């Protein structure tokens, strides 16, 4: 009996267009989320690159005389640009910094991005 009722309901095709439209909207929503995730990662990458460059430039003037101060400068500038310093090495008046940008953990886009933690390195020196 239940089967027969179901068949009767399924035979009416009003609502079919709405279902198709909702399916399309769902597909579009998935596309939008994917593009949002890509944009999040692209923005974080670019931020990491800039933070690394600016941190290395900030550290360069002190590289020769005060390596510890140089790395403190690098840390400050990286933090001011939303990145964290991963490593900072000073050798022969050159500073090499590596920074990374953490995506906001709460963001669903960050989850879609697979927990990517973009890193970037930059070198600056007085030579």
Of the listed pieces 3-11, 84-92, 99-107, 110-118, which binds other proteins according to CB under 8 A? 3-11
Q: Of residues 1, 3, 12, 92, which one binds other proteins by CB under 8 A?
A: 12
Q: Residue 24 interacts with other proteins (CB under 8 A)?
A: yes
Burial string for 26-39 (b: 16+ CB within 10 Å, else e) reads eeeeeeeeeebbee
Q: Of residues 30, 34, 35, 69, which one binds other proteins by CB under 8 A?
A: 35
Of the listed pieces 15-23, 84-92, 98-106, 110-118, which binds other proteins according to CB under 8 A? 15-23
Q: Residue 53 interacts with other proteins (CB under 8 A)?
A: yes
Which two structure tokens, joined as six digits, stand for 5? 């009722």
Q: Residue 111 interacts with other proteins (CB under 8 A)?
A: no
3-state secondary structure of 13: coil
Q: Residue 50 interacts with other proteins (CB under 8 A)?
A: yes
The answer to whether the CB of 84 falls within 8 A of the CB of 100 is: yes
Rounded Cα distance, 104 and 120, in Å: 18
Rounded Cα distance, 115 and 106, in Å: 11
β-bridge mates for residue 99, sequence order: 85, 120
Q: How many C-alpha atoms does 76 have within 13 Å on its Cβ side?
A: 9
Residues at the site binding other proteins, with contacts judged by CB under 8 A: 4, 7-9, 11-18, 20-22, 24-25, 28, 31-32, 35-36, 39, 42-43, 46-47, 49-50, 53-54, 57-58, 61, 64-65, 73, 77, 80-81, 126
């Amino acid at each position: 009996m239940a089967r027969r009722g179901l068949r009767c309901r399924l035979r009416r095709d009003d609502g079919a267009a709405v279902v198709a439209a909702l399916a399309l909207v769902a597909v579009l929503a998935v596309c939008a989320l994917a593009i949002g995730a890509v944009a999040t990662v692209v923005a974080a990458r670019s931020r990491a690159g800039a933070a690394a460059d600016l941190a290395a430039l900030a550290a360069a003037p002190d590289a020769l005389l005060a390596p510890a101060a140089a790395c403190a400068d690098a840390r400050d500038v990286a933090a001011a640009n939303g990145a964290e310093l991963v490593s900072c090495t000073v050798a022969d008046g050159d500073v090499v910094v590596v920074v990374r940008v953490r995506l906001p953990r709460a963001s669903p886009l960050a989850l879609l991005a697979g927990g990517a933690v973009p890193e970037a390195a930059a070198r600056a020196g007085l030579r």
